Structure 1
Amino acid sequence: MTEHTVPTGADARALVLDVLRTIAPGPALESLRPDDDLRDVLGLDSLDFQALVARVSERTGLRIEEDDYADLADLAGWVRHLTS
């Protein structure tokens, strides 16, 4: 089992934004608020969301379960998930 370090809120936010830049670059990403729905604001479809989950999981070493997806609808949810 791989041990991981729990990131700070700022680090978690930066990580998710970095991954999102590879999936949905553009001006909407730069003005993204913590509670904005990622799928709506960035136009993510289910494949984009799966790519986000996979890439964040790869970079953090955390397993992200399908049961967690509802909590990962916005940036604030990602930060909470990654820092808990």
Structure 2
Amino acid sequence: MNETDARSAVLAALNEVAPDVETEELEGSERLRQDLELDSLDFLRLLETLAGTTGVTASEDDYPGLTTVQSLVDYVAAHG
């Protein structure tokens, strides 16, 4: 999966999990938990939604590296 497709998938998943987030304005450096205010359940739902749409599943060992929108896009692109 290329970065453009991965970014589209991540933004679509964010729209589903956190509809109040303005995804059109996200640049990538935004932190999922601090800036977008996703709690741990939102984060898990985001990963679950991405797994359903892209087939990319993240292991718990990878969670610490998935802190920003861009890190999640990169992860999906690399594993998709």
How does the TM-score come out when normalised to structure 2? 0.85
CA distance in 1, matches of 2:41, 2:19: 15
Gaps of 5+ in 1: 1-6
Structure possessing the higher radius of gyration over alpha carbons: 1
Paired AA for residue 9 in structure 1: E
Partner SS for 1:38: coil
Task: State the superposition RMSD in angstroms.
Answer: 1.4
Match of 1:36 among 30, 34, 44: 30
Give the conservation status (yes or no) of the 8 Å contact 2:9–2:50: yes
Partner SS for 1:41: coil
Gaps of 5+ in 2: none
Give the conservation status (yes or no) of the 8 Å contact 1:28–1:42: no
How does the TM-score come out when normalised to structure 1? 0.81
Q: Percent identity?
A: 36
Matching of residue 16 in structure 1 with residue 10 in structure 2: yes
